[in-house]
């Protein structure tokens, strides 16, 4: 399906020269003088090569047909990350470059949204929030107020984040998967 370059957004999949590319960043630039352009940085799905393209905002770009489906995460092995479709029990292996930073939050039986082009997984959408245990942080200081002074903490999945002073080692917290930021103490 042909669309104008200015409508391309992060996460879209573009077909160019018979190859599929997932958009990493898309920026529309309007100079004071001259033609507005769309600067698009993308990664080739077949081999992971990143390229940057510049189009006139009115240029037609081939947007690939993508279908989003819910999958359950099963396990990881040498072939990649394995997921199962909840509706028809089909299994699919996804390569590490498609998963990217989301790997840290993947847990067994977690439901994620995979974007498929035919049978080929091209991108993953994680739940917005995840519950993770704090494995290392500075001890709680008695009498310290719950002001906006945050302290560093290491989570069980290997991610570093900042937490309020009252959070101690062993506490389960809710974090945003997109930027690893602290949300609240887990309610379980």
What is the Cα–Cα distance from 136 to 94, expressed in whole angstroms?
31
pLDDT band at 107 (very low <50, low <70, confident <90, very high): confident
Strand bridging mode 182-185 / 151-155? unpaired
Residues 116 and 143 in one domain: no
What is the Cα–Cα distance from 121 to 114, expressed in whole angstroms?
6
Residues 77 and 107 in one domain: yes
Q: Is the pLDDT of residue 17 over 60?
A: yes
**Average pLDDT, rounded, for the chain:** 85
Residues 170 and 136 in one domain: yes
The number of domains in the chain is 3
Residues 108 and 135 in one domain: no
What is the Cα–Cα distance from 47 to 117, expressed in whole angstroms?
16
Structural domain span for residue 75: 67-125
**Tokens at 155, concatenated:** 């989570």
pLDDT tens for each residue of 76-100: 988 889 999 988 888 888 888 778 7
Q: Is the pLDDT of residue 144 over 70?
A: no
What pLDDT is stored for residue 145 in this prediction?
Answer: 59
pLDDT tens for each residue of 124-142: 888 888 888 999 888 766 6
pLDDT band at 74 (very low <50, low <70, confident <90, very high): very high
Q: Is the pLDDT of residue 143 over 90?
A: no
**Residue 117, φ and ψ in degrees, nearest 5:** -110, 100
What pLDDT is stored for residue 89 in this prediction?
Answer: 87
Range 171-180 average pLDDT: 88
Q: What angle do CA 106, 85, 105 make, to 5 degrees?
A: 5
Sign of torsion, CA 128 133 139 142? Answer: positive
CATH assignment at residue 146 = 2.40.50.140
Residues 58 and 71 in one domain: no
Instruction: Tell me the longest C-alpha to C-alpha distance in the chain.
Output: 63
Q: Which residues contact residue 147 at a Cβ distance below 8 angstroms, ignoring those fewer than 6 apart?
A: none
* pTM, 2 dp: 0.68
pLDDT tens for each residue of 150-169: 888 999 988 899 988 888 88
Q: Is the pLDDT of residue 146 over 60?
A: no
């Amino acid at each position: 399906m042909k669309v104008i370059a200015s409508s391309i957004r992060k996460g879209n999949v573009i077909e160019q020269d018979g190859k599929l590319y997932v958009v990493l960043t898309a920026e529309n630039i309007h100079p004071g003088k001259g033609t507005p352009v769309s600067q698009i940085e993308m990664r080739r799905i077949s081999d992971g090569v990143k390229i940057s393209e510049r189009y006139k905002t009115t240029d037609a770009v081939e947007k690939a047909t993508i279908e989003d489906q819910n999958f359950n995460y099963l396990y990881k092995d040498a072939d990649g990350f394995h997921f199962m479709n909840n509706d028809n029990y089909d299994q699919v292996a996804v390569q590490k470059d498609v998963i990217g930073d989301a790997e840290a939050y993947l847990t067994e039986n977690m439901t994620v949204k995979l974007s498929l082009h035919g049978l080929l997984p091209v991108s993953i959408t994680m739940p917005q929030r995840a519950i993770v245990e704090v494995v290392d942080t500075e001890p709680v200081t008695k009498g310290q107020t719950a002001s906006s002074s945050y302290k560093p903490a290491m989570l069980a999945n290997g991610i570093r984040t900042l937490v309020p002073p009252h959070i101690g080692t062993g506490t389960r917290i809710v974090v945003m998967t997109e930027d690893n930021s602290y949300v609240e103490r887990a309610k379980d």
